[in-house]
Structure 1
Amino acid sequence: MTVKMNAELVLDSRADLGEGPSWDDKRKRLIWVDINGCKLNEFDPVTGLNKAHRFDRPVGAAVPDDQGGYMLALQDGFYSWEPTGNKIICIAQPEGAETPNRFNDGKCDPEGRFWAGTMFYQYGPSAKAHLFRLDGDLSVHTMKREVIISNGMAWNTEQGIMYYIDTLTKKVVAFDYDRQSGHITAERDAVKIPDDYGLADGMTIDGEGMLWIAFFHGWCVRRINPQTGEVLMTIDVPVEKVTSCAFGGEKLDELYITTASEELSPEDLEQQPHAGGLFRVKPGVKGCRATPFIFGT
């Protein structure tokens, strides 16, 4: 029997495309982005305040680094950003400066490598985007080619598995993951997504190895057993476009959920007044601690 819970609004941010939440354990903040709004956000759950940093192009993903700054996947490539001096440096543009794609989602693996993938602006079956890995020595590696919409990632470190979503394929795939080298092999289907669930978007994993998947056009986050495909829990969100989720808080027992308001009609927004907001729920399980980007590895 599937357990159902409701998420509560914690920040009425009305983001156009809220995405990429990640708990920064050092700063005790939730890091998240508004891709279309070109913003990196830091949400303080104690004060309820959100600090937004604006850039000159879409921010597909952002992760803290181990030197007090951030590693970014902006529209066209990997960048490092030092907030104190507002210094931004282009690390690499792996698809070139004139790519028709943009970076969409990313996070660090357990060894501090930054994985981020691209998506085609006019997406469809013929789109050719990619999944990349940025190592601590700032070398870039293409990990998966001919992706359509690169999205959620999660690692089960105990079993050496990486899970990955290419949204329009309607499935979650699993790879054997070598923690030392960062290599992935033996791709296979882990979870098939039914048509009536919505589009599988961002994803995280809990301490029991279960996947938490946000469903765009699906009004919810689902906890799914990747071994059986069984839905164990559904977190209902009062917004149609649910984009991603991550565990945070001092005990990593709070699930934060991002949403979007992009392309909603005035009628839709009247029915979903908190579209683009940040939500939270305590589901009764704990997540895994996020690793920052680690230089030099």
Structure 2
Amino acid sequence: MRTYGIEVAVRAEATLGEGPTWDAARGRLLWIDILGCRVHGFDPSTGRRTVRTTEQHVGAVKPRAGGGLVLNLRDGVGLLDPDGAFRWLHHEPVPGRRANDAAVAPDGALWAGTMRYDEAPGGGTLSRLTGDGTVEVVLDGVAVSNGTGWSPDGRRMYYIDSPTRRIDVFDVDGPRVTGRRPFAAVEEGAGFPDGLTVDADGCVWVALWDGGALHRYTPDGTLDRRIALPTPRVTACAFGGPGLRDLYLTTARVGLIDPHPLSGSLLVVPDAGQGLPQPAFAG
């Protein structure tokens, strides 16, 4: 069994660190603090860090193909232009609901999740947004919409609604997904599946909230690797850095009475595997 090293990329005290994403065009790792209303940038080659404050709780940030960022915000999806100007792509405030995780599909569409602040079952959604602002609700009746990712050939989509303790898989047919079925399950007491990423071998890496670990599942759903982490609330993971070999992990402090000193920091597992290039949002 391989042993993995764990390093601190950015020591921080994010309330709810989430959503690591490698911005290939700028050679930086983007991540957010949902409840802290902050978008972080980190250049591993120089150590340079940036922080931008948002007006609302921010569930995800992704690079745009034409430059700038797309933000999954409390009241909808917004665009930041390269000059810093902000505009709404889709504005749909719902009392008691906020944005959560999001991912960009191989075709450049944004799959954006929502959830209720009280995590009430059925209060969240998963929607597909194109660059012109067209929105389609793909899933309703979701509790905590979380990790979303695609197989290397683009024929499968993986998805997590955290309270189910499952990673589900769909068949992809153009912009549509069908045939939802369980792919893998996290056993009682091992935490809740949160964010995910898919590597070049088609294996699915899953961060475990209240599990203090990362799991890797082979394409047939077999758990073949477990990496124990020092912080209990591991929220999401993404490959980044030169050659997409390093696995970055976000963590959270929210709700912890006596948080670990690294809770809320951005961690990294060097040379964890081979990541896949992630598309930018086509908008």
Q: For residue 79 of structure 2, what is the aligned residue in structure 1?
A: 80
Hey, what's the Cα distance between the residues in 2 that align with 1:237 and 1:110?
30
Q: Which runs of 5+ in 2 are unaligned?
A: none
Q: Are 2:41 and 2:50, in contact at CA under 8 Å, matched by a contact in 1?
A: yes
Q: For residue 130 of structure 2, what is the aligned residue in structure 1?
A: 135
Q: For residue 266 of structure 2, what is the aligned residue in structure 1?
A: 278
Hey, what's the Cα distance between the residues in 1 that align with 2:23 and 2:103?
12
TM-score, structure 2 as length reference:
0.96
What is the identity, as a one-letter code, of the residue corresponding to 1:116?
A
Q: How well do the aligned residues superpose, as a CA RMSD in angstroms?
A: 1.4
Q: For residue 161 of structure 1, what is the aligned residue in structure 2?
A: 156
Q: Are 2:120 and 2:143, in contact at CA under 8 Å, matched by a contact in 1?
A: yes
What is the identity, as a one-letter code, of the residue corresponding to 2:170?
F
Once the two structures are superposed, what CA deviation does each residue of 1:272-292 show, in whole Å capped at 9, x if it has no partner?
111100011124420100100
Q: Are 1:81 and 1:87, in contact at CA under 8 Å, matched by a contact in 2?
A: yes
Q: For residue 22 of structure 2, what is the aligned residue in structure 1?
A: 23
* Aligned pair partner of 1:119 in 104, 115, 122: 115
1:251 is paired with a residue whose SS is helix
Hey, what's the Cα distance between the residues in 2 that align with 1:236 and 1:105?
23
Structure 1's 76 and 208: CA in aligned 2 closer, same or farther, altered over 3 A?
same
1:194 is paired with a residue whose SS is coil
Give % identity.
36
Hey, what's the Cα distance between the residues in 2 that align with 1:238 and 1:57?
30
Q: Are 2:152 and 2:276, in contact at CA under 8 Å, matched by a contact in 1?
A: no
Q: Are 2:74 and 2:93, in contact at CA under 8 Å, matched by a contact in 1?
A: no
Q: Are 2:146 and 2:161, in contact at CA under 8 Å, matched by a contact in 1?
A: yes
Distance apart, 1:53 and its partner CA:
0.5
Distance apart, 1:100 and its partner CA:
1.9
Once the two structures are superposed, what CA deviation does each residue of 1:191-218 show, in whole Å capped at 9, x if it has no partner?
1111121010000000000000000101
Q: Are 1:105 and 1:151, in contact at CA under 8 Å, matched by a contact in 2?
A: yes
Matched, 1:185 2:178: yes
Q: Are 1:22 and 1:248, in contact at CA under 8 Å, matched by a contact in 2?
A: yes
Distance apart, 1:230 and its partner CA:
2.3
Matched, 1:236 2:228: yes
* Aligned pair partner of 2:255 in 246, 251, 263: 263
Hey, what's the Cα distance between the residues in 2 that align with 1:210 and 1:176?
16
Q: Are 1:30 and 1:42, in contact at CA under 8 Å, matched by a contact in 2?
A: yes
Matched, 1:107 2:110: no
Hey, what's the Cα distance between the residues in 2 that align with 1:47 and 1:79?
29
Hey, what's the Cα distance between the residues in 1 that align with 2:147 and 2:138?
15
Structure 1's 157 and 239: CA in aligned 2 closer, same or farther, altered over 3 A?
same
Hey, what's the Cα distance between the residues in 1 that align with 2:81 and 2:112?
20
1:197 is paired with a residue whose SS is coil
Task: List aligned pairs for 1:36-51, cutoff 5 A.
Answer: 36-51=35-50
Q: Are 1:16 and 1:276, in contact at CA under 8 Å, matched by a contact in 2?
A: yes
Structure 1's 284 and 292: CA in aligned 2 closer, same or farther, altered over 3 A?
same
Q: Which runs of 5+ in 1 are unaligned?
A: none
Once the two structures are superposed, what CA deviation does each residue of 1:36-74 show, in whole Å capped at 9, x if it has no partner?
110111111012222010011111001010111111101
Q: For residue 204 of structure 1, what is the aligned residue in structure 2?
A: 197
Distance apart, 1:26 and its partner CA:
0.5
Size of the aligned set, in residue pairs, is: 283
Q: For residue 170 of structure 1, what is the aligned residue in structure 2?
A: 165
Distance apart, 1:236 and its partner CA:
2.0
Distance apart, 1:137 and its partner CA:
2.2
Hey, what's the Cα distance between the residues in 2 that align with 1:148 and 1:98?
15
Hey, what's the Cα distance between the residues in 2 that align with 1:243 and 1:159?
24
Q: For residue 241 of structure 2, what is the aligned residue in structure 1?
A: 249
1:273 is paired with a residue whose SS is coil
Q: For residue 97 of structure 1, what is the aligned residue in structure 2?
A: 93
Q: Are 1:4 and 1:234, in contact at CA under 8 Å, matched by a contact in 2?
A: no
Hey, what's the Cα distance between the residues in 1 that align with 2:34 and 2:120?
20
Once the two structures are superposed, what CA deviation does each residue of 1:97-137 show, in whole Å capped at 9, x if it has no partner?
23321110001011111111101111133x32100111122
Distance apart, 1:262 and its partner CA:
1.0
Q: For residue 57 of structure 2, what is the aligned residue in structure 1?
A: 58
